[in-house]
Amino acid sequence: MSRVAGKVVLVTGAGSGIGRATARLLADEGATVIVTDINRPGGLETVQQIGGRARFEEQDTSREADWKQVIDDILAREGRLDGLVNNAGIAGPYPSTFESETVEQWQRMLSINVQGVFLGCKHGVPAIRSSGGGSIVNLSSLAAFLGTPNLAAYGASKGAVRQFTKTVAIDCARKGYKVRCNSVHPGVILTPMGEGIMPDDKAKERVRRSIPIGDFGAPQDIAYGILYLISDESRFVTGTELVIDGGMNAI
């Protein structure tokens, strides 16, 4: 398969879940994938699953120094960057209302989920632009459209990603950078993070019944959407929101 053949793509938070599924699919479709994660064993396992089309770098996406190092390494070793998937993120403790959440929890959530995306775009756009153009995909959430009383900081962070994505997209388009930027909004996906908000089987079944399509999403469902946005098939798509949620946002 060759939907992204010859492209060099950085996927953050690729040590598990959606990031791992995305890295594997992009590699299957011909891309060279740089897998990053703060979880070194998980990231190395992803690379092992992929084989020769991937390598790992340890990265804390909330730290600007890490972003500079990773981007510099890619340009030095691969010689270009065609795509960036800002996937790394956390959900935080559940439940956590705005009244119960601590300032420290709030700041940690925003430092990873929002600052990490900001830094990715800040350092990724120049690298992609210098490579002739390409695509950035920012992972937001269905929570960007809905109130999240039990995940206050998480919902706020994903709303920020949704808006910031549009800002980057329009700024790049107006400046003629040939860098597209779109957000992806997963619903309830069976990943370690997703299952963390469903404390028992009873809660899990209650959530399942609330999904119009009748089942949970899988990481691969999100990966296919990201593949489309990274590929040249989406050359006329920027500043938009791809919701992959089994119909929940349509209710």
- Give the rounded percent of residues in the chain with a pLDDT score beyond 70: 98
**Active-site residue, from 94, 154, 177, 228:** 154
Residue 196: what pLDDT? Answer: 67
**Beta partners for residue 150, in sequence order:** none
Q: Tell me whether residue 22 is in a domain.
A: yes
Give the span between the Cα atoms of 26 and 166, in whole angstroms: 24
CATH number at residue 40: 3.40.50.720
Residue 224 lies in a domain: yes
| 95 has pLDDT over 70 | yes
Task: Give me the amino acid identity at 231.
Answer: S
Instruction: List alpha helices for the chain, DSSP H.
Output: 17-28, 40-50, 64-77, 103-110, 116-130, 152-174, 192-195, 201-209, 219-230
Q: How far is CA 77 from CA 23, 44, 92, 108, in A?
A: 18, 18, 35, 32
Checking if the pLDDT of 51 tops 90, the result is: no
Residue 201 lies in a domain: yes
56 located within any domain: yes
- Rounded Cα gap, residues 25 and 174, in angstroms: 31
Residue 2 lies in a domain: no
Provide CB contacts within 8 A for 46, sequence distance 6+. Answer: 14, 15, 16, 19, 20, 23, 24, 35, 37, 54, 56
Q: Is residue 27 assigned to a domain?
A: yes
Question: Element (H or E) spanning 136, and its range?
Answer: strand 134-139
What domain count does the chain have? 1
In a domain, 1, yes or no: no
Is-catalytic flag, 228? no
The predicted model scores a pTM of 0.96
User: Which domain, by its residues, includes 236?
Assistant: 8-246
Domain contains 251: no
For 192-233, the pLDDT digits (tens) are 776 667 777 887 888 899 999 999 999 999 999 999 999 999
Angle between helices 17-28 and 40-50 (to 10 degrees): 30
